[in-house]
Amino acid sequence: MTLVTSIDPAGKLHGLQLAPAATSPWTPPSYAAPESFAEQEITIGSDPLAVPGTLSLPHGDGQRPAVVLLSGGGPFDRDETSGSNKPLKDLAWGLASRGVAVLRFDKVTHTHGHVVNAPDFTMTGEYVPHAVAAVHLLQHQPGVDPARVFVVGHSMGGKVAPRVAAAEPSVAGLVILAGDTQPMHRSAVRVARYLAALGPDVIPQAMVEEITRQAAMVDSPDLSPSTSAGALPFGMSASYWLDMRGYDPVATAVALDKPMLILQGGRDYQVTVADDLSGWRAGLAHRPDVTIRVYDADNHLFFPGAGPSTPAEYEPAQHVDVAVVDDLAEWLTAGVGVVRLPPGAKPPSI
């Protein structure tokens, strides 16, 4: 394991996390063609909470579609690094090799870990300001069609993607990769029970009981901004959970007049076909501009495998399913979701 710490400018410790240790360096997937694109470092935002990122621009003339990648819950870097694996870098290199510009960036909780201790910290603040800034930055890049900038979110990044598009109408469309629709505190209980069933060496029963008690507090009418973070799941503030509790990703998506591609791994135990994809299907079944696909062999990170999925299968070095990359690139380049700006109009300023 790798011990990841977050320390503020005053030298105070604000976060501690155990993460899988990288057992081998990341290598490009076979479906990537690094010679077909160039990468450059960029900065998202100009205030004290600005974050670094990477822009991948395909070579060649003409305007192309582009995407902003959003990682899942937790203090992830721009690649969504987990041990030896970098699923968002897989996606970025795979899409850039297929003619799609890609912008990915470190989450504010990765670069500025102390923000999680702010009493008013929320999921919206964690994602939306930087995602909107990233959309604007892409819209001003030479070679990018400002009318075809999409948001592609994985896991919690997929859950919050409709809120990003609601905040920034110029977003052309959404791609939701394993986006959860079940309330997160309830899915935490479900996942904990799943892991406990694998054996006490995976997660002890006492932890399941603790998570269950904390989740019940999120559902309680007594939850208020003054509720202690220690009584809530993952030690997140009451404001964070109040924001989550008041957010319905499906209803927000239904209200958007934008095309969507929703992808789901059939073996995913964190965000499941039965508990989460069913929500997208029920809410968006009437929409001809929504495409839903399930990859039966894939887990939560869209790594192909066989049998019941377990945490151990994330440890070996592997790559995002090429079928996911191909389907995503085909959907993005097929002309869907073009937001036509009025004659003479310019994309939002940055």
Tokens coding 166: 């609601």
Residue 22 lies in a domain: no
- pLDDT tens per residue across span 254-297: 999 999 999 999 999 999 999 999 999 999 989 999 999 999 99
Contact 189, 216 (CB under 8 A): no
> Which residues form the catalytic set?
155, 268, 300
Q: What is the CATH number of the domain that holds 327?
A: 3.40.50.1820
> Can you list the positions of beta strands (E) in 88-224?
101-105, 144-154, 174-177
Which residue stretches of the chain have pLDDT < 50? 340-343, 350
Tokens for 227?
A: 């509720």
What pLDDT shows up at residue 342?
47
- 3-class DSSP state for residue 196? helix
> Is 348 part of any domain?
no
Q: 346 lies in a domain?
A: no
CA-to-CA dists, residue 198 to 190, 194, 298, 311, 345, angstroms: 13, 7, 19, 10, 57
pLDDT digits (tens, 9 = 90+) for 96-145: 999 999 999 999 999 999 898 898 999 999 999 999 999 999 999 999 99
Do the domain assignments include residue 116? yes
The pTM of the whole model exceeds 0.85: yes
Torsion of CA 143, 149, 153, 156, to 10 degrees: 130
Number of domains in the chain: 1
Residue span of the structural domain in which 142 resides: 35-332
Residue 303 falls within a domain, yes or no?
yes
Distance of alpha carbon 42 from the chain centroid: 19
Q: Residue 150 falls within a domain, yes or no?
A: yes
* DSSP label at residue 188: H
Residue 209 lies in a domain: yes
The 3-class secondary structure across 318-344, one letter per residue, is CCCCHHHHHHHHHHHCCCCCCCCCCCC
Q: What is the pLDDT of residue 143?
A: 94
pLDDT at 250: 98
What residues pair up with 66 in beta bridges, in sequence order?
101, 149
Under a CB-based contact definition with an 8 Å cutoff, are residues 117 and 32 in contact? no
Q: How many CB atoms lie within 10 A of CB 235?
A: 14
**Residue 283 within any structural domain of the chain:** yes
